[in-house]
């Protein structure tokens, strides 16, 4: 299954560790909070993405199914 990165913005404290690990898919805004790419994670970056998820000290980063059924969730 294809995945994409997602941040729980309430849990995230802006350490920026994730962006160091995976600059290809995560950059930081001017206040140090991550802007994650919403595209499906390319195959070759998948191991790094999993490491970024594990390294986040706040458990704020996660992998979501890339084509989540957002019919009701979109409201």
Partner 1 sequence: MTRSGGPAAPPTAPHRPDQLGAATRLTTGWQESSRAASLLRHTERYGPLPRRGSGRALIDAVGQAGLTGRGGAAFPTGTKLRSVASGRGTAVVVANGMESEPASEKDKALLARAPHLVLDGAVLAAGAVRADEVHLCLPRNREWLIAVIQDAVAERQRAGLDRVRIEIHDLPHHYVSSEESALVHWLNGGEAKPTATPPRPFERGVGQRPTLVDNVETLANIALIARFGPAWFRRAGLPDAPGTMLSTVSGAVTDPGVYEVEVGTPVGQVLAMSGARPDVDHVLIGGYFGSWHQIDQVASLPLAPAGLRAAGASPGAGVLLALPPDTCGLAETARVLTWLAGQGAGQCGPCAFGLPAIADDFTQIATGRLTGPALERLERRLGTVTGRGACRHPDGAVRFARSALTAFAADLKAHVSRRTCLAVRRSEARRPVLPIPRPLGMEVWQ
Residues forming the site for partner 1 (CB under 8 A): 7-14, 29-33, 35, 71-73, 75
Decide: is 22 part of the binding site for ligand SF4 (CB under 6 A). Answer: no
Q: How far is the CB of 67 from partner 1 (least distance, A)?
A: 15
| Helix, strand, coil percentages in the chain from 3-state DSSP, rounded to 5 | 25, 20, 55
**Cα 42 from Cα 64, distance rounded (Å):** 14
Residue 35 interacts with, from partner 1, ligand SF4, none (CB under 5-8 Å by kind): partner 1
Q: Where do contacts with ligand SF4 occur on this chain (CB under 6 A)?
A: 7, 9, 12-18, 34, 56, 58, 60-61
């Amino acid at each position: 299954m294809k995945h994409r990165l997602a941040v729980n913005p309430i849990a995230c404290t802006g350490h920026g560790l994730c962006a160091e690990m995976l600059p290809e898919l995560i950059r930081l805004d001017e206040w140090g909070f991550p802007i994650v790419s919403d595209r499906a994670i390319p195959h070759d970056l998948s191991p790094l993405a999993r490491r970024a998820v594990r390294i986040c000290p706040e458990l704020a980063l996660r992998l979501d199914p890339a084509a989540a059924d957002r019919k009701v969730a979109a409201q």
